[in-house]
Structure 1
């Protein structure tokens, strides 16, 4: 166990000193490009495409964090009224967390090649039961229950190179049979995190496949047969060669048949979810490196059918990557701009909406949070001063993103060179709590609200 001097029952509660002041302005433009020192719950940022600096304004940094044991006095920082309680620690590599209809937590332990299950005691972070649901996997990441709803018959798991499913009945702590391969031969090098989600009607299985490189250095400037023929035969912005079928979201029937491309140019959509209010598919995307500290922005976006999001030739709309200058002038003006921009190199890995529509008004998070989304930021390496390493809240109004995002769970960075936590998974539980995993010290947390609701 890597936790240093931590009592298993420790309950972390933040102080009101960390709250955002009522008159604190939203950080915009260059003011939004701070580092970890400015992070605290309640700080809001709004980054627009026109705020991005030109490439190479700063040099490209290599600045990976040193991960240390969690200090005994460390506290996850949360807004007033919220608290975080430890569910589990010492897990090898906890990644995606998904909530089963009966409330069990399914956790992808990716490096251990297994999926774990935690059943919590009612109203508590204490695991009443825990189990290894399935092992022998290949860097599992995404998890989805099928059909969507209260009585799933299958658990789908996205390996780095395939999608498999296990027969499942509500409350199963261990898989009762062998995995059934649904989608095979997914390219698995470099970006290996494969997330999956089902459409609300259960008719479509979505799969994200990240790129095989930073910016398609080895793809070649032209596909075999020529660019004109390629453009006519393939989806808008489809890549080729070593990147064929990558940097995109795909769709399948639940049995894995009828594969098709939904959207292209998403460098690494490492987290997907469906927005309850609209049924729209959302991605959080790790953008490219090497252009400087603050460019390009990371982002969260609804995934529009047939859309092209730029990679590798453009970024954040019609900004041409100088490393591919002039190569795809036919795509100029055709790249969609994403919905919410976040600081460059923050590494968003997962997203979850906080619906809360079935919760009583006096339980769960405050009403203002309902309909918003939470994103886990794993943290930067390609930036001079560290950013990310936190969970943020994306603000929505009437089901539409405002473009603003707010620090929600911070305190994982110890210094500009050391961190103890790297958030990865985020999931809204049926009891109104928020579940967060981080793979620096291999912990899982349960965040609840107990403050004033007046």
Structure 2
């Protein structure tokens, strides 16, 4: 990590804090929605549509991924008026996905340390009353799910980069009582390694996201054995082959890991999944491809429709053809599903959760929170924040607004990279970030639901 002076950091944080008090931000649309970290503040609203896509390679791509610095003293996420953030834990190697057990315990994937941590918070507080390592010796664990869904799960499922395992679980366990049982093996693990998992509301289906093995399928090979036409007749719509076979997909299994099937294809890197409580629909947040310019293509959050193809690697955001695959798959034109909510390019969305808690104001119910890990392939940084996706009657409006900002403190200095997001049992929002390895509890008012 690099260091910056405390006074400079404090000045930037105070300036950002002043922005946070401004309310009633106008809705930014079209090119005005393509901002960077300097324009970010709670309440800024954006609506991006497919027609807003610039042409690819209109701006030269950049490599701008460094600059993680020590968290300045007293630095916190900047939030809308009435909200506050308290530190739950710090100094964690790589806190990524966070999921909440039915009893309220926070299960956190510490991916680089190859373990799952558990935090039991004191009532109405961010202070852990107990903490433990639930399981260790894993392989870059990421997704976590409790099975069966409901109040009395018997298993904790964990998605490694190369497998899904499960641990026997009883309500309140702080440590696994036995060795892991492998449920799904032989998952390709190179390049994009974040594997998320979720169960359908009825518990009959286990979903698994598997990201691509490359940026734009450079190693896939020009043609599958037997030719493209034969492949297209025998495989799901938009399925890839060669080194990318079984990747850039959402798969489904029975809870015991059997009956593998394809749900959707063309999702370059679905790093986060959740089920929408109001509808039972599966949602993904997706990192799209790089090196096509500052604002191409858009990232997105979307429902995952059975049998749908979302474009990668041949197309993006509908029928926009990737220049590196020009003319390769004309048979797929007109068959690409357009995502539900478009997010600024290179924001790197990693996780999503729907808010059904009782602590936040009533108009937050039914909306979703998405963590944006932040750009590396953009001239001026974007992302590095938590945003709120707006819904009406269970359907996305397409609009999103900044909720938690302040993680970037200079063009070359970032202290926080949001990853995990979950709603605690008491209605607080839990956010992890892996720049400085911290976990935060966000509440409204006095923090009581």
Q: Which residue of 1 aligns with 2:20?
A: 18
CA drift at 1:431:
0.4
Q: Which residue in the other structure is 2:330 paired with?
A: 329
1:31-110 matches, within 5 Å, as 31-110=32-111
- After superposition, the Cα gap between the structure-2 partners of 1:319 and 1:17, relative to the gap in structure 1 and judged at 3 Å, is closer
Aligned counterpart, 1:27? 28
Aligned to 2:10: none
The match for 2:9 is none
Q: Could you tell me which residue of structure 2 aligns to residue 446 of structure 1? A: 441
Q: Which residue of 1 aligns with 2:371?
A: 376
Provide the alpha-carbon RMSD of the alignment.
Answer: 1.9
Q: CA deviation at 1:75?
A: 3.0
1:58 and 1:292 in contact (8 A); partners too: yes
| 1:145/1:155 contact within 8 Å kept | yes
Q: Deviations over 1:245-269 (max 9, x none)?
A: 0000000000000000000000000
Bigger mean CA offset, 255-264 vs 60-69: 60-69
State the 1:29 CA deviation.
0.5
1:229 alignment partner, SS class: helix
The aligned residue for residue 9 of structure 1 is none
> Could you tell me how far apart the structure 2 residues matched to 1:340 and 1:153 are?
35
- Summarize deviations over 1:10-57 as a string: whole Å, max 9, x none: xx99967514432x3200000000100000000000000000100011
Residues in 2 aligned to 1:380 and 1:350: alpha-carbon distance in whole angstroms: 15
In the superposition, relative to structure 1, how do residues 15 and 39 fare at CA in structure 2: closer, same or farther (>3 Å)? closer
Aligned counterpart, 2:398: 403
Do the aligned partners of residues 94 and 101 (structure 1) sit closer, same or farther apart at CA in structure 2, a change above 3 Å counting? Answer: same
Counterpart mapping for 1:280-429 below 5 A: 280-356=281-357, 359=358, 364-429=359-424
CA separation of 1:280 and 1:124: change in aligned 2, threshold 3 A? same
Contact 2:368–2:388 under 8 Å retained in 1:
yes
- What is the Cα deviation at residue 452 of structure 1? 12
- CA positional deviation for 1:350: 0.3
Q: Any gaps of 5 or more consecutive residues in structure 1? A: 7-11
* TM-score for both structures, normalised by structure 1: 0.95
- Deviation for aligned residue 1:109: 0.1
Q: How far off is 1:220 after superposition?
A: 1.1
Q: Alpha-carbon deviation of 1:3?
A: 11
The aligned counterpart of 1:436 is 431
SS at match of 2:409: coil
1:375-418 CA-to-partner distances (Å, cap 9, x unmatched) read: 00000000000000000000000000000000000000011111
Question: Structure 2: how far apart are the matches of 1:281 and 1:452?
Answer: 30
Contact 2:4 2:69 (C-alpha < 8 Å) held by counterparts: no
How far apart, CA to CA, are the structure 2 residues paired with 1:268 and 1:224?
Answer: 25
Partner residue, 1:142: 143
1:123-142 deviation digits (Å, cap 9, x = unpaired): 00000000000000000000
CA–CA separation in structure 2 for the residues paired with 1:38 and 1:157: 37
Q: C-alpha distance in 2, partners of 1:436/1:68?
A: 19
User: 1:227 offset after TM fit, Å?
Assistant: 1.0
2:2–2:68 CA contact under 8 A, matched in 1? no
Which 4+ stretches in 1 moved above 4 angstroms?
1-6, 12-17
Other structure's SS at 1:66 match: coil
What whole-Å deviation, never above 9, does each CA across 1:282-336 have from its counterpart, x for those lacking one?
0000000010000000000000000000000000011000110000000001000
5 and 61 in structure 1: CA distance in 2 versus 1, 3 angstrom threshold: closer
Q: 1:451 to 1:125 in 2, by over 3 A?
A: closer
Matches of 2:343 and 2:447 in 1, distance apart? 30
Q: What is the TM-score normalised by the length of structure 2?
A: 0.96
Give 1:225 shift. Answer: 1.1
In structure 2, list runs of 5 or more residues that go unmatched: 7-12
Partner Cα distance (1:71, 1:144) in 2: 34
Cα displacement (A) at 1:228: 1.3
Counterpart in the other structure of 1:252: 253
For the residues of structure 1 that align with 2:344 and 2:425, how far apart are their CA atoms? 30
